[in-house]
Amino acid sequence: MRVITVLLCVCALSCSTPKERIPTHSVTATSGHSILFIGDMMFEWAVKDTMQRYGTDYPLKKIKPFLHSFDFVMANLESPLTHARKTHPYQKYIFKASPDIAYILYDAGITAVTLANNHMLDYGVQGLLDTIASLSTAQVLYAGAGTNATTASLPVIYTLGQSRIAVLCYTQIYAKDMVAHNNPGINYFEMNKAKEDIQKYRFCDRVIINIHWGNEYFYYPSSKQIDVAHALIDAGADAIIGHHPHVYQGIEIYKNKPIVYSLGNFLFGSVHEGINDNIACALYMSQKGKIIKMHVYAIKGIHNDGMIQPEVLEGHLAARIFEHILEVSKPLGMIFTRRATTHHNYLEFIFR
């Protein structure tokens, strides 16, 4: 893998709400740039059934304009994109999708994905290499896995106007034989390594940690996660975005920097009683690269009909999620809960 820097057009989209930012509307000026993080994506189970019934573009069709309204969008991809048949021997659940899905991601407005998770080697090394190849062909950036430890540890580096962001991707959930050393594999989390990485990429205006961690179906991070998050911010990280629990968790503002412990799912085929609606997190940056505000969006994750199609929730449906987010964030301190304001379809926090 190589570090890829992409130059965006100077006329970027403005930092208003998604309802106002549908790409068909004419926007002539911008006060900054927007980056959006979304949760777990896989293309098995009910997602696969949905695509077979309605077409491969159906699951992301409704939310596509929302995704396209941001300058940079990053997801956690938990389906290897491969036709390989040999599976990992110790995985309880095995996921994969056709390599053509990479084009669906690109068309939907997903700029980059993290591959640092416990499913990226569900179909072994071949599955990982096929995934990397298909993403590269479709021009979707990736980080968190590679052909060896060096390439697996490289971040996504992205240029927004005159600013650059580096997104470092790690996983704490893995089997030992999944890890990249002199072999293809994923980028595992180790504190000293992460601290060194943060300093290595401090030439970028913002360094963001994207990490796969935590306990499934828990709305609260563990004390160990909180300690790790604080240590990463102390080491120079500007934001931390987490996933893996399949439900959202509380949000913390630590030293005026956001820690989103879990986004929950984004496009996931489970339909059992543990599945809930989810969140997406947008960070808005000034022209000089400073994070000036954060929006939290409620994303539909409960699909009673089994047909999977996420969308941005609004009104009382969104308000219910926002109230719960504020409630589960209280144990993490009062900065976020006291200063966040609720709008029609997003929760807003402005950094001072």
Q: By the 8 A CB rule, do 310 and 66 touch?
A: no
Confidence of residue 209 (pLDDT cuts 50, 70, 90): very high
Strands 239-243 and 257-260: parallel
Q: For residue range 256-301, what is the model confidence (pLDDT) as tens digits?
A: 999 999 999 999 988 776 779 999 999 999 998 999 999 999 999 9
Q: Which helix (H) or strand (E) holds 163?
A: strand 163-171
pLDDT at 8: 35
Is pLDDT above 70 for 2?
A: no
Nearest residue to 258 via CA among 275, 287, 279: 279
Is pLDDT above 50 for 23?
A: no
Q: For residue range 218-237, what is the model confidence (pLDDT) as tens digits?
A: 999 999 999 999 999 999 99
Is pLDDT above 70 for 150?
A: yes
Is pLDDT above 60 for 21?
A: no
Which residue segments constitute the domains of the chain, with CATH numbers given?
18-350 (3.60.21.10)
Per-residue CA distances from 95 to 29, 43, 182, 185, 302 (Å): 42, 7, 25, 16, 20
Angle between the N-to-C axes of helices 124-138 and 101-108, in degrees from 0 to 180, rounded to the nearest 10: 40
Strands 291-299 and 347-350: antiparallel
Confirm whether pTM is higher than 0.85.
Answer: yes
Q: What is the dihedral of CA 25, 156, 77, 61, to 10 degrees?
A: 10
Mean pLDDT of the chain: 91
Q: For residue range 165-208, what is the model confidence (pLDDT) as tens digits?
A: 999 999 999 999 999 999 999 999 999 999 999 999 999 999 99
Could you tell me the two tokens for 196?
């060194």
Could you tell me the two tokens for 99?
């390599």
Among the ranges given (97-106, 151-160, 235-244, 298-307), the one the predictor scored with the smallest mean pLDDT:
298-307
Contacts of 320 (CB under 8 A, 6+ apart): none
Confidence of residue 92 (pLDDT cuts 50, 70, 90): confident
From the CA atom positions of the chain, what is the Rg in Å? 19
Is pLDDT above 50 for 12?
A: no
Nearest residue to 308 via CA among 49, 99, 37, 36: 49
Torsion sign (Cα): 302, 299, 350, 77: positive
Confidence of residue 32 (pLDDT cuts 50, 70, 90): confident
pLDDT at 22: 32
